[in-house]
Amino acid sequence: MNIGLILAALLLVAPALSWAAEQTWTGKISDSACGAKHEEAAENEGVMPDRECTQACVRGGSKYVLVVDGKVLQIGNQDNKDLATHAGHAVKMTGELKGSAITVSKVEMQ
């Protein structure tokens, strides 16, 4: 009888646990080299637009990050195609926070 109650409780709690894991953040897709602030380009050509800087830094080996209110959040699934599409843009990002990195499920332009 106790096993039946435990199973019933697990069935009720399990959907709530998976629902609570997904979150949405509003911020800007940047890169791990620049983070919240894009500085002057290495080529001494002045400050690049955020999108161009992010794309250049990622081509150079940096990782995509999400900047929310000045805080830099790591992104776990760097292969998500929407990251390149929206590099440097203000976005609404949906995903799960696993440890210190977001596993992205959806990115929408702000």
Q: Mind listing the pLDDT tens digit for each residue in 2-39?
A: 776 565 666 665 555 545 489 999 999 999 999 999 88
| Residue-level pLDDT at 70 | 96
Question: With DSSP H G I counted as helix, E B as strand and the rest as coil, what are the percentages for the chain, rounded to 5?
Answer: 30, 35, 30
| Residue-level pLDDT at 8 | 61
| Residue-level pLDDT at 46 | 78
Q: Is the dihedral of CA 91, 84, 107, 33 positive or negative?
A: negative
Mean pLDDT, all residues of the chain: 88
- Which pTM was predicted? 0.78
Q: For residues 93 and 95, give the distance between their C-alpha atoms in angstroms, rounded to a whole number.
A: 7
